[in-house]
């Protein structure tokens, strides 16, 4: 084994040059990897003892993409295209051996090899679009040549991963290894076979039949644009991908590649990609807690208890069942328990109808669910999550009772959305094992998990829950103890100015429309209708929401709220609600018209101010945690990077000026300080 460089080895085995890359954690295409690969290729091509070349990676995965940490910052000595020319124009057959997740630039690199073999469990895809990028290593030109434009667009616009089996079926790979451990041997055997056959290496760039057929269909691209229009509206990368695919169909190869290069630079340097890459990194950074020893002994979580089988309890139970953990589900009445089980069963069966789960998976999950009226059944649980009525005394009573049932080291987690976790912990013996696990509804769909660290929560408990969150497929973010933690506290900061605009005569529907135009899935009043107006009645000093509630307008679930809803839950502004608003505020809704950006400034600037306070108080450890929470918790547009990233882009000076112009006096000192020194929340 000749070491070409720190992470690149080259050996000649039976006339086959085997290049092995080892750049943990995911063999991302850092300049070091690219230089090592280029040097190894050059050596292999020059070595007469090598009749074919295999590329394989050590560690958990084949190249998982360009290196997000150095992208656009540090240049390799030879770029993607120089590397690919060397491979593709090799007279010796070249084979890429894929395992793990061959993604983005990794798959694109594999596509410049003449042949590809993968392990049965390997997955591959071009997820660049999820980062606001596009496959900038020739992927937009090679994929249509393999799959045709329609399938290529589906893969590049969704960024979805495909299995080795599917990849074989569409011709993305040529073989599947006989087993997970035989990839290297099978790849070498494949390469030897190719060398012996004298078969000319096949370059994907030379495959023209599919693009020629697409080119012969003049209406194809218009039909595909129409198909995708709504999903990609307002997003730069998907539009650029369309232009690249059109160039691939038009040809010739060099022209198409030139279009891809130009379009890639455009999105790489655009605001949306910086925002989306920020969120990608924020999700990973959120799991790194300063002062938490990385080798901390974590607690085993093999058996889970959930107390409460309502909407949240049922959803939480499904989250654990979906991760393969057995769940004891406790309720106080048989009727509530039966209703909970029925809800879980119905939802799991819907997942089967949608092709997300197989019937045998549902059967396995339901057999791992143990419903009971006896809390004593929790005695051997390693973790118990309560999802009962949002009332402090009820929760404290439960934790006191649980403290007498479960082991002293069993973790007790509360799913409270607002209440003081320290006070709840105080009701249980060994409060150091108490933590908040705030799931977002629907719990089995929403990825965010606010992990609320109590004053006494032990580090081992925190570390265990953070690891568990990843196993559950959740994106955890740590919050300190305050009313509403991070997400709901910031949402509360949005509701006050929204209510104030309504009291001035701005129509709720206009405020919601401006929010959707900004990129939120829905605006504050549609969201209130969904959550139920009673949760926001007390805080509404304008008096509108309390009046709607007393008029029986409690939201979607109870007689409509700001909107009336048809059987498909399509909202229309409610004349009854508008009349109540006019009566309470003395202003006809709509009598005041504001531009969308004026409305959004009125809503978002106070949210930024609250985010700054959350940072000042140490409730959130860093601004990127707040960005992650706002994107995953209530749909702040990810292509704007989350609340604090967006504020940095607006400029903190402008935000302070806007708050002052709106007469908001209590501005966060941190926000004032950063604004004063031209700083940013997400510095560096
Ligand atoms: N660059 C740098 N670091 C990366 C990385 C990347 N592309 N992907 C992951 N990491 C780090 C991550 O920060 C974490 O580090 C560790 O690896 C484990 O990641 C030209 C331009 C591969 C499926 O979009 O989807 O190619 O926090 O916690 O859950 O066309 O990571 O431990 O220090 O996510 O097992 C395209 C992104 C890039 C793939 C593994 N590629 N990565 O998931 O582990 S753009 C991607 C993932 C591109 C070309 C374009 C996932 C994963 P640390 P992890 P995981």
The predicted pLDDT at position 77 comes to: 87
Task: Compute the distance from residue 60 Cα to the ligand 1 centre, in Å.
Answer: 12
CA–CA dist 392, 481 (Å, integer) = 14
Where do the structural domains in the chain lie, given as residue ranges? Answer: 2-265, 304-481, 488-595, 597-677
Contact assessment for residue 287 and residue 144, using Cβ atoms and an 8 Å cutoff:
no
Distances (CA, A) of 449 to 478, 490, 621, 649, 670: 8, 16, 15, 26, 26
CATH class of 597-677: mainly alpha
The predicted pLDDT at position 642 comes to: 98
Q: What is the mean pLDDT of residues 299-308?
A: 97
Neighbours of 14 (CB within 10 A): 12
> pLDDT for 368-405, tens place per residue?
999 999 999 999 999 999 999 989 999 999 999 999 99
The predicted pLDDT at position 201 comes to: 87
Phi/psi at 40 (nearest 5 deg)?
-65, -40
Residue 108 appears among annotated catalytic residues: yes
How confident is residue 274, by pLDDT bands cut at 50, 70 and 90? Answer: very high
CA–CA dist 142, 498 (Å, integer) = 49
Mean pLDDT (the chain, rounded)? 95
> pLDDT for 51-99, tens place per residue?
999 999 999 999 999 999 888 787 888 888 888 899 999 999 999 999 9
> pLDDT for 538-572, tens place per residue?
888 888 999 999 999 999 877 799 999 988 889 99
What residues contact 181, with CB distance under 8 A and at least 6 apart?
Answer: none
Which of 7, 59, 68 to mutate to test ligand 1, by most ligand atoms within 8 A of the CB atom? Answer: 68
CA–CA dist 128, 314 (Å, integer) = 35
How confident is residue 639, by pLDDT bands cut at 50, 70 and 90? Answer: very high
CA 71 to ligand 1: nearest atom: 21
How confident is residue 1, by pLDDT bands cut at 50, 70 and 90? Answer: low
Neighbours of 552 (CB within 10 A): 10
The predicted pLDDT at position 536 comes to: 80
The answer to whether the peptide bond before residue 442 is cis (omega within 30 degrees of 0) is yes
Task: Compute the distance from residue 19 Cα to the ligand 1 centre, in Å.
Answer: 22
Domain 488-595 fold:
1.10.1040
Contact assessment for residue 303 and residue 332, using Cβ atoms and an 8 Å cutoff:
no
CA–CA dist 91, 46 (Å, integer) = 11
Residue 331 appears among annotated catalytic residues: no
Question: Considering only CA atoms, which residue is closest to atom 22 of ligand 1?
Answer: 64
> pLDDT for 452-506, tens place per residue?
999 999 999 999 999 999 999 999 999 999 999 999 999 999 999 999 999 999 9
Ligand 1 pocket, 9 CB below 6 A?
no
Contact assessment for residue 96 and residue 190, using Cβ atoms and an 8 Å cutoff:
no
Q: Which of 6, 88, 108, 331 is flagged as catalytic?
A: 108
Q: What is the mean pLDDT of residues 590-604?
A: 97
Ligand 1 pocket, 28 CB below 6 A?
yes
Ligand 1 pocket, 137 CB below 6 A?
yes
How confident is residue 260, by pLDDT bands cut at 50, 70 and 90? Answer: very high
Q: What is the mean pLDDT of residues 43-51?
A: 96
Q: What is the mean pLDDT of residues 341-365?
A: 94
Least confident of 37-46, 74-83, 361-370: 74-83
Question: Considering only CA atoms, which residue is closest to atom 41 of ligand 1?
Answer: 65
Partner residues linked to 653 by β-bridges = none
Q: What is the mean pLDDT of residues 425-442?
A: 96
> pLDDT for 163-172, tens place per residue?
999 999 999 9
CA–CA dist 464, 219 (Å, integer) = 55
Question: Considering only CA atoms, which residue is closest to atom 55 of ligand 1?
Answer: 26
Are 304-481 and 488-595 the same fold in CATH? no
In CATH terms, 2-265 corresponds, of 3.40.50.460, 3.40.50.11540, 3.30.420.40, 3.90.226.10, to: 3.90.226.10
The predicted pLDDT at position 539 comes to: 80
Task: Compute the distance from residue 66 Cα to the ligand 1 centre, in Å.
Answer: 8
Domain 304-481 fold:
Rossmann fold (3.40.50)
Whether the predicted model's global pTM rises above the 0.85 cut:
yes
The predicted pLDDT at position 646 comes to: 98
Task: Compute the distance from residue 101 Cα to the ligand 1 centre, in Å.
Answer: 10
């Amino acid at each position: 084994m000749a070491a070409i460089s720190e992470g690149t080895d080259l050996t000649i085995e039976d006339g086959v040059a085997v290049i092995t890359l080892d750049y943990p954690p995911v063999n991302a295409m850092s300049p070091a990897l690219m230089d090592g690969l280029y040097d190894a290729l050059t050596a292999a091509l020059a070595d007469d003892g090598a009749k074919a070349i295999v590329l394989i990676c050590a560690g958990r995965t084949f190249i998982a993409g360009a290196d997000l940490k150095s992208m656009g910052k540090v240049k390799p000595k030879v770029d993607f295209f120089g590397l690919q020319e060397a491979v593709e124009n090799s007279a010796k057959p070249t084979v890429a051996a894929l395992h793990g997740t061959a993604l983005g630039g990794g798959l694109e690199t594999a596509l410049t090899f003449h042949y590809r073999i993968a392990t049965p469990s390997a997955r591959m895809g071009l997820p660049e679009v999820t980062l606001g990028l596009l496959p900038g290593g020739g992927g937009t030109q090679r994929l249509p040549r393999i799959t045709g434009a329609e399938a290529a667009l589906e893969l590049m616009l969704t960024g979805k991963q495909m299995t080795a089996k599917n990849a074989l079926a569409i011709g993305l790979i040529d073989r599947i290894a006989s087993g997970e451990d035989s990839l290297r041997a099978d790849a070498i055997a494949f390469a030897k076979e190719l060398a012996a056959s004298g078969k000319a290496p096949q370059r994907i760039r030379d495959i023209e039949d599919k693009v020629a057929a697409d080119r012969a269909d003049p209406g194809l691209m218009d039909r595909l644009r129409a198909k995708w229009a709504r999903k990609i509206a307002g997003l730069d990368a998907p539009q650029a991908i369309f232009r690249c695919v059109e160039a691939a169909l038009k040809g010739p190869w060099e022209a198409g590649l030139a279009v891809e290069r130009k379009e890639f630079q455009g999105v790489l340097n655009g605001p949306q990609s910086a925002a989306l890459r920020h969120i990608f990194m924020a999700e990973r950074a959120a799991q790194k807690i300063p002062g938490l020893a990385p080798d901390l002994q974590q607690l085993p979580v093999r058996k889970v208890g959930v107390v409460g089988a309502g909407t949240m309890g049922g959803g939480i139970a499904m989250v654990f069942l979906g991760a393969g953990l057995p769940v004891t589900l406790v309720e106080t009445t048989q009727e509530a328990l039966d209703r909970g089980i029925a809800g879980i069963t119905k939802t799991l069966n819907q997942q089967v109808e949608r092709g997300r789960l197989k019937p045998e998976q549902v059967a396995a999950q339901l057999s791992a669910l143990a419903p009971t009226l006896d809390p004593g059944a929790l005695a051997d649980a390693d973790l118990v999550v309560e999802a009962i009525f949002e009332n402090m005394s009820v929760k404290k009573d439960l934790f006191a009772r649980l403290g007498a049932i479960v082991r002293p080291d069993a973790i007790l987690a509360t799913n409270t959305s607002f209440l003081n976790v320290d006070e709840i912990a105080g009701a249980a013996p060994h409060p150091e094992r108490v933590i908040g696990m705030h799931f977002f509804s629907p719990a089995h769909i929403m990825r965010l998990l606010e992990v609320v660290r109590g004053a006494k929560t032990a580090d081992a408990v925190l570390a265990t829950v953070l690891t568990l969150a990843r196993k559950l497929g959740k994106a955890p973010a740590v919050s300190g103890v305050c009313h509403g933690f991070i997400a709901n506290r910031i949402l509360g900061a949005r509701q006050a100015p929204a209510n104030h605009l309504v009291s001035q005569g701005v129509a709720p529907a206009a405020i919601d429309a401006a929010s959707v135009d900004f990129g939120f899935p829905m605006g504050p009043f549609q969201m209130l209708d969904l959550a139920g107006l009673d949760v926001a009645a007390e805080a509404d000093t304008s008096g509108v929401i309390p009046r709607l509630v007393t008029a029986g307008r409690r939201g979607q679930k109870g007689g409509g709220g700001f909107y009336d809803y048809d059987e498909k839950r399509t909202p229309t502004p409610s004349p009854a609600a508008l009349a109540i608003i006019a009566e309470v505020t003395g202003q006809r809704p709509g009598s005041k018209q504001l531009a969308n950006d004026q409305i959004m400034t009125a809503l978002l600037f106070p949210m930024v101010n609250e985010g700054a306070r959350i940072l000042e108080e140490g409730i959130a450890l860093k601004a990127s945690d707040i960005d992650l929470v706002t994107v995953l918790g209530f749909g702040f547009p990810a292509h704007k990077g989350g609340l604090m990233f967006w504020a940095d882009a607006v400029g903190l000076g402008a935000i302070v000026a806007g708050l002052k112009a709106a007469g908001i006096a209590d501005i966060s000192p941190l926000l004032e300080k950063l604004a004063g020194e031209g700083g940013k929340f997400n510095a560096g």
